[in-house]
Structure 1
Amino acid sequence: MDLVFRDAEVVDGSGGPSYRADVAVERGRIVSVVQEAAAAGWNGGGPGDTTVDLDWRTVGEYLDRLDTAHGGEGIAVNAAYLVPQGTVRMYAMGWADRPATPAELDRMRRLVAEGLEQGAVGMSSGLTYTPGMYAPDAELTELCRVVAEYGGYYCPHHRSYGAGALRAYEEMIALTREAGCALHLAHATLNFGENEGRAPELLALLDRALEAGADLSLDTYPYTPGCTTLLALLPSWAQEGGPEAVLGRLADGPTADRIRHDLEVTGSDGCHGVPVDWSTVEVSGVTEAALADRVGRRLGGWEEARALLLADRLGSTILQHVGHEENVRAIMRHRVHTGGSDGILQGAKPHPRAYGTFPEYLGRYVREEGVLSLEECVAHLTSRPAARLRLPDRGLVKEGYVADLVLFDPATVAAGATYDAPRTLPTGIPHVLVDGRFVIEDGRRTDVLAGRAIRRTPV
């Protein structure tokens, strides 16, 4: 036996009551779970640094690079891949804001199929980001038909989390129903003033879809601000043609005034159809060192935002403080909810969700506030996402399963990450194992890189 964890409390990921057991690990797998003793809760999640050669051109080559990163050692955590619909569209037809021709749509279908054949688990979209947002529903439906053929799932960042958010959710449910495709709604929340207190409407919509037979799940992070790029707030027409075209429009006074009108009066589609409140926009990162003093500051208005976009050549990241705590709490209780960080590590002051999401669930929302029971929450973070990914031997503390384990103290586990210190590590998690190997031991990161690419399980 390589390892035996004796007489600990097992929260096995099933959602059932915890129990005392010994858990034995050998050659990276759980070989025995004997009650009246040991164990672990686990989330399998957390940020890790990866060094990968950028000479790949296909999904298969990328996944191979992950397995051979760091001189063949691998990566810090396991990684699954979603074919990015926006990138596929860019590859097939550039930054054009128009419907695809039949030939271009055929090319997109082939690219999605190739990605799934090479191991991707599904397809993602960023439908408030260009050029993905230029795709009409009919185009997305056709691509989802390909995803369905391979037993994958569609994971959209849908068209709005603000104005018309419920219609945007309905759109995703309808097009995946037509395509016969499973749907996982990414960071499924409701933001901005018009959606305060409207989580029950979203949950009722989800329940109706589930009752009608939809294969549906969702994830959220346990925080109220969002995180994106400053560029993303701009209207989609201003982003057509790519980065150099955007910079040219920003530099042109009359065109910049038109952008400002869309942002502050009409409500830009890049900002979810809501007129931007600059006081909610906090700079979290810049690419130009000379602009470092802007990080952590709220933007004073359009002219400051425009100047930053030009000076940083569109590279700035932001936090948007537009969420509602009651919506966050209500949605995380839903029966098809899973935890997800939506973590972005870029920038000097990233969103604390990148480092804090999973311990924040376990510490604040389980122990301190009782929004979820410990057993239920662990299921949200383990077996449910494993089921969505169709991983046959992960997500549970169970004999024969891969030993991806987190040993934590329910009485002390907490997110160390804050908005002021977002890269602070959590507390109360002394040990983490990936594939049966310690990547965190006695609270310290080891040099072990046990993570690998996880490829789609054929159906």
Structure 2
Amino acid sequence: MYDIIINNAKIVDGTGSPWYYGSIAIRNGKIVEIKRKGKFKSGEHVINAEGLMVAPGFIDMHSHSDAYLLINPKAESKIRQGVTLEVIGNCGSSMAPILPDKLSEFKRRLGELAQYITWDWSTYKEYKEKLMKNGIALNVAPLIGHGTLRVNVMGYENREPTVEELEEMKRLLEQCMKDGAFGLSTGLIYTPGSYAKTEEIIELAKVAAKYGGIYSSHIRSEADKLIEAIMEAIRIGKEAKIRVEISHLKSAGIRNWGKIVEALKRIEEARLEGVDVTADFYPYTAGSTSLTACIPPWAHVGGIEEMIKRLKDPEQRMKIRRDIEASIEGWENLANLAGWDKIIVASCEKNKQYEGLSISEIAKINGKDPYDQAFDLIIEEEGRVQIILHMMREEDMLEALKSPYTMVGTDGSSIAPYEPLGRGKPHPRSYGTFPRIIGRYARDKRVITIEEAIRKMTSLPANKLGLKDRGIMRRGFWADLVIFNPKTIIDTASFENPHQYPEGIEYVIVNGKIVIDRGEHTGELPGRVLERE
């Protein structure tokens, strides 16, 4: 007797091959048999998948659910779009390691959500054990953040590390890698990552490479210096001999539209030279980050308290403004790229009435200049203001979608339309990324085939992560599966109304357990913290 049988399905196996009719049997968490003809007769759970497609569970190559899974382990917004594995610890920010004297800084970053977490870990191993003890609905593959390592060892100092400091960062990373972490991530537009020179990152990437890890990077520019930033990531890959993943590939700002073609060309050339470099993307023309990312790096030195002091000082405040207006060299000037009218407040704690409004609109309400409004909001909210920036175009995103070397990452978190994770107006990508690609761009617009879309969501990221028994529908592989209606699958989350689950996802199975059953969450938490193979 099988645990689960799925009969009469259109099987999309994850390799990019054409779908075929078949039936699947699952036992002890694994796929044990796939039939091309006939049905399986006896199973504890029998799913009639007539008219439905079955695919390997989707892999979110770029996620920020590190803290959110400790608050709500059901992973609602991800599991309900078919995600069975999230890669966390991205953009240089991970929830481990956290040295005891730095704990307050990590709590501060999370704001009022910090109260929902029991902060009783320090090492990566302890964080991993905590996730497993709490239970999680899906699998996770954690990266270690370069910014996290730097905060632990150097705080927010804008300088090169001493020999001893670099050795300490390497030591911390090595222990995480020994404990199964999947690699190193950087966020090179964010402090303190932006303070690091390429050579520092190469030295750390060598440690991850030694253990077979990957290097995943929010590169130093996704706009004016996009090509230079791509080349820096490729250089790190070459010199550290490490596999490279370029995070949320885009070309931002009207003056940079079209550059993505050149970026993809550089990736292809590097691959021909033997550098394993790929990228991920999301199917939207807006990004999301913190409002503090609009402040020049020099004003971040010493941390958020020092930044707020500078914003309160008239002379320093004017210098910050002038640097944004003049678009000084050496940083990603998001305010200049998007414009205050295209920067929307997604969430904040003390001024919820502003959620969904642009900085320009809020400034008008308060009779202020947009710069002053942005600075005052950072001061009032102690830096905790999430924003959405409308600064890309669909044509460029479609170039990324069509490349054979790109996979899918939400750049969002596992949230839910209820408390405490249902606050604000977050980017809809946390709810809609995967169904949007299949429904809008594969089925309706036919930019790529459904089979190719699913390859980008399954076998391609599994291969990048070095997972030998996930990402493909194959006998002996883990039963991470999504069953969806190809005629109805679509995202419903919008920028105005983001907390909306997609349509068309009927079942999601994680490690052989049904987590989504006819569109509803069963409450099962069969996920695991995977270890690098």
Which TM-score band applies after superposition, normalised by the shorter structure? over 0.9
Question: Where do residues 8-87 of structure 1 align in structure 2 (5 Å cutoff)?
Answer: 8-36=9-37, 40-44=54-58, 49-50=72-73, 53-69=118-134, 74-87=135-148
Q: CA deviation at 1:52?
A: 5.6
Is the CA contact 2:253–2:337 (under 8 Å) kept in the aligned structure 1? no
Match of 1:423 in 2: 499
Give a deviation string over 1:179-213, Cα, whole Å, max 9, x none.
11110111011111121122211111111101101
Q: Does 1:208 align with 2:269?
A: yes
Q: CA deviation at 1:110?
A: 0.8
Distance in 2 (alpha carbons) for counterparts of 1:309 and 1:177: 39
Match of 1:144 in 2: 205
Secondary structure in 1 matching 2:293 = helix
Is the CA contact 1:383–1:395 (under 8 Å) kept in the aligned structure 2? yes
Match of 1:247 in 2: 308
RMSD: 1.6
Secondary structure in 2 matching 1:141 = helix
Match of 2:233 in 1: 172
Corresponding pairs, count? 451
Q: Does 1:408 align with 2:408?
A: no
Q: Does 1:351 align with 2:427?
A: yes
Match of 1:284 in 2: 346
Query: Residues 367 and 66 (structure 1 numbering): CA distance in 2 closer, same or farther, change over 3 Å?
Result: same
Q: What amino acid maps onto 2:23 in structure 1? A: D
Is the CA contact 1:52–1:65 (under 8 Å) kept in the aligned structure 2? no
Q: What amino acid maps onto 1:449 in structure 2? A: L
Query: Residues 198 and 275 (structure 1 numbering): CA distance in 2 closer, same or farther, change over 3 Å?
Result: closer
> In structure 2, which of residues 257, 264, 270 is the aligned counterpart of residue 196 of structure 1?
257
Match of 2:375 in 1: 306
Is the CA contact 2:341–2:359 (under 8 Å) kept in the aligned structure 1? yes
Query: Residues 77 and 456 (structure 1 numbering): CA distance in 2 closer, same or farther, change over 3 Å?
Result: same
Secondary structure in 2 matching 1:421 = coil
Distance in 1 (alpha carbons) for counterparts of 2:347 and 2:130: 28
Q: Which range is displaced more, 153-162 or 39-48?
A: 39-48
Secondary structure in 2 matching 1:331 = helix
Q: Which range is displaced more, 127-136 or 258-267?
A: 258-267
Is the CA contact 2:341–2:358 (under 8 Å) kept in the aligned structure 1? yes
Q: Which range is displaced more, 190-199 or 201-210?
A: 190-199
Secondary structure in 1 matching 2:244 = strand
Give a deviation string over 1:268-296, Cα, whole Å, max 9, x none.
724359455111100000022xx110100
Q: CA deviation at 1:316?
A: 0.5
Q: TM-score, normalised by structure 2?
A: 0.82
Is the CA contact 2:252–2:337 (under 8 Å) kept in the aligned structure 1? no
Secondary structure in 1 matching 2:141 = coil
Distance in 1 (alpha carbons) for counterparts of 2:323 and 2:459: 43
Is the CA contact 2:253–2:338 (under 8 Å) kept in the aligned structure 1? no
Distance in 1 (alpha carbons) for counterparts of 2:497 and 2:56: 24
Q: Which range is displaced more, 205-214 or 186-195?
A: 186-195
Distance in 2 (alpha carbons) for counterparts of 1:237 and 1:273: 16
Secondary structure in 2 matching 1:41 = strand
Match of 2:88 in 1: none
Distance in 1 (alpha carbons) for counterparts of 2:325 and 2:26: 58
Q: What amino acid maps onto 1:402 in structure 2? A: W
Distance in 1 (alpha carbons) for counterparts of 2:118 and 2:520: 27
Q: Does 1:293 align with 2:294?
A: no
Q: What amino acid maps onto 2:32 in structure 1? A: V
Q: What amino acid maps onto 1:58 in structure 2? A: T
Q: What amino acid maps onto 1:313 in structure 2? A: E
Is the CA contact 2:56–2:458 (under 8 Å) kept in the aligned structure 1? yes
Q: What amino acid maps onto 2:477 in structure 1? A: Y
Q: What amino acid maps onto 1:30 in structure 2? A: I
Match of 1:332 in 2: 401
In structure 2, list runs of 5 or more residues that go unmatched.
39-48, 74-115, 361-369, 416-420
> In structure 1, which of residues 426, 446, 456 is the aligned counterpart of residue 532 of structure 2?
456
In structure 1, list runs of 5 or more residues that go unmatched.
none
> In structure 2, which of residues 498, 509, 515 is the aligned counterpart of residue 433 of structure 1?
509
Q: CA deviation at 1:267?
A: 4.7
Q: What amino acid maps onto 1:68 in structure 2? A: K
Q: What amino acid maps onto 2:500 in structure 1? A: T
Query: Residues 368 and 276 (structure 1 numbering): CA distance in 2 closer, same or farther, change over 3 Å?
Result: closer
Q: TM-score, normalised by structure 1?
A: 0.95
Is the CA contact 1:29–1:402 (under 8 Å) kept in the aligned structure 2? yes
Identity %: 35
Q: CA deviation at 1:336?
A: 1.4
Secondary structure in 2 matching 1:154 = strand
